[in-house]
A and B are shown apart, each in its own frame.
Chain A
Amino acid sequence: MGIVLLFLIPVVVFSIVSVVLVGVLGAALPALAAYPDFTWVMDPWFQALIKMTLLILVVVMPLASILTWMERKQSAKMQDRGGPNRAAILGARAWGIPHFIADAVKMIMKEDFIPAKANKILFSLAPVMAIVPVFVTFAIVPFGGDVCTHQLTQVVANPALCTDKVTLQVARLDVGLLFYFAIASLAVYGTTLAGWASYNKWSLLGGLRASSQMMSYEVTMGLAILGAFLVYGTLEPHAIVLAQGPLPWHWGIVYQPLGAILFFTAAIAETKRTPFDTPEGESEVVGYFVEYSGMRFGMFFLAEFIEVVFLSAIMATVFFGGYEFPFLFPDGFHLLGHSLPLPHVAVLLIQTAGWGLKVIFFCWFQLLIRWTLPRIRPDQLMDLGWKKLLPVSLANVVVTAVVVLALMAR
């Protein structure tokens, strides 16, 4: 029963989410644009705005806040405990899911305290600096295939050819993942400023650790994913997804297994969670947000979980086929010579729901890692980053480059 629900609930939830996303962006807005007064709903700026809003309100924020509950519940299950199960809405406990609402209420009601000697402006700015970049990076994640708005009920063989398409991606940037690296490195300012501005030795130490760690691991992260760029020949996430296609043995994890592991490791270090949580090691320096309370602390907390969601999305996009569902081609399922033609809208719904399932799987996997491995020392952290991951990722790039070159020359 529990196992069935464990798989059933995400499927149901993400089916609803995909209906909302595809329905609003692919059907409702184009239908609205048919009226002369509302043609502006198809303008690029409005599209970008509505996509970002929808993505954040429907996927990112619910997922990030439910992760606060999931983390505690999953760790409890892994450690043979019961986990949170007290908070209830009208007596419905629902395995303690209302705890995330209780958390939010608690965060908002708490006293918002600023230390007397803290730099007030930077102190208030730091949580915003930490949370905004992680939201912005979601702009490049494709959460579904292109929608041919006039052919929703027909079988569409090649969505790239239709003229009236809506992209299920906020911004299709050619620099793609470079944009992610650029924005994500801004998040360092948030943590470092928080550590410095709170006028506390421990938070300063935490901030220093955070900045050194994030800078070192960014190098490995970039190099690890470089192999994938060489294989796909593009940096644009949607093109990467298309290059992988619906066949699982063409996904990035098959071509770049080492790159995937390296990237995942380095990216977990970027999110500053166990086993790389030296910036906030509770038993040693408590972290760059020691002095924060109330919703300001909540923003750091939330930023961490949004980073988890984002990392899951990037892992799914670059190494696990993105929104591509196994064996689901644009015109329906094809498996072992059998084929099942599906209308365009059904394909889109399955793809977006599948994307959500991949994301939540990687969230689950990151929580599993976070509650399994112990924290490593800062010097071990630097050793791992510079002496192990970096050479291996360099080697990975070189070998990949040689193989790709050899294949291209053939």
Chain B
Amino acid sequence: METTFRKRTSKATVKVVPRPETLNKELMLGGIIQGLAVTMRHFFQNVAREKPEVTINYPEERLKYPLRNRGLHRLMHREDDSVRCVACMCCPTACPAHCITIVAEETGNGNEKRPAIFEIDELRCIVCGLCVEACPCDAIRMDTGEHMHVVDRRDDAILGKVDLMKRGISSTAVQGGEPNWQERVKTVPDPRFR
């Protein structure tokens, strides 16, 4: 500790903090024994407990995910099992990672569209859920609770329309919203403004 060092050439002076050289510090034994006592206490506590409280042995034990957990995407179906998505391009616009690719096509009945190609690159996805928020017709959801599965090639991580719809079920929401929703909102009293 005798190396208190002042640089003459520089105008700035070094503030020397005194470090008292106590016998206990010099011996180091006190600190060592304290440290050993701490680790020893933890050792015996954890041995007695059989399993540390914080550890989750993953494949056998799993945390219960919260309801709002965002898993792999899925595309919902209509009553006739066709895709609900109308290729409105809201989700690729909202997506901050630019990982949704949609190529639209005409359905042929009326003036509706549907996606010819709907691909999500799950490796680029940042799991923000903005696509779900953006969708006006409950076509895309992230409530599968599934993790991204292990892939050997990056291409395998791009989920296409078929993959996404495989997980989907029929959504009971009325396509395009309920026709008379404005009247219904008026009749239902909002508890906050009563």
A253 to B55, CA, bound (A): 40
A2 to B52, CA, bound (A): 12
Q: A80, A368, A371: which contacts B52 (Cβ < 8 A)?
A: A80
Question: Of the 9-residue stretches A71-79, A179-187, A400-408, which lies at the interface with chain B?
Answer: A71-79
A298 to B42, CA, bound (A): 30
Check B35–A82 contact: CB distance below 8 A: no
A397 to B179, CA, bound (A): 99
In B24-81, which residues have CB < 8 Å from any A CB? 26, 29, 32, 35-36, 38-40, 42-44, 46-55, 57
User: Which interface class (under 10, 10 to 19, 20 to 34, 35 or more) fits B?
Assistant: 20 to 34
A79 to B38, CA, bound (A): 10
Q: B39, B48, B57: which contacts A371 (Cβ < 8 A)?
A: B39
In A1-34, which residues have CB < 8 Å from any B CB? 1-3, 6
Q: Give B57 Cβ to nearest chain A Cβ, in Å.
A: 7
> Does A39 sit at the interface, judged by CB under 8 A?
no
> Does A372 sit at the interface, judged by CB under 8 A?
yes
A373 to B39, CA, bound (A): 10
In A336-386, which residues have CB < 8 Å from any B CB? 368-369, 371-373
Q: A1, A82, A368: which contacts B43 (Cβ < 8 A)?
A: A368
Q: Give A152 Cβ to nearest chain B Cβ, in Å.
A: 38
Main secondary structure, interface of B, reads helix
Query: What are the residues of chain B within 8 A of A2 when measuring CB–CB?
Result: 47-50
Check B47–A77 contact: CB distance below 8 A: yes
Query: What are the residues of chain A within 8 A of B40 when measuring CB–CB?
Result: 78, 368
User: Which interface class (under 10, 10 to 19, 20 to 34, 35 or more) fits A?
Assistant: 20 to 34
Q: A1, A77, A85, A371: which contacts B46 (Cβ < 8 A)?
A: A77
Check B39–A368 contact: CB distance below 8 A: yes
Contacts from A to B (Cβ < 8 Å): 1-3, 6, 74, 76-82, 85, 261, 368-369, 371-373, 388
Q: A1-B50, A261-B29 known; 4 other A-B pairs, CB under 8 Å? A: A2-B50, A3-B47, A79-B42, A373-B32
Contacts from B to A (Cβ < 8 Å): 26, 29, 32, 35-36, 38-40, 42-44, 46-55, 57
A/B interface sample: 10 pairs, CB < 8 A? A2-B49, A74-B43, A80-B52, A80-B53, A81-B52, A81-B55, A82-B57, A372-B39, A373-B32, A388-B26
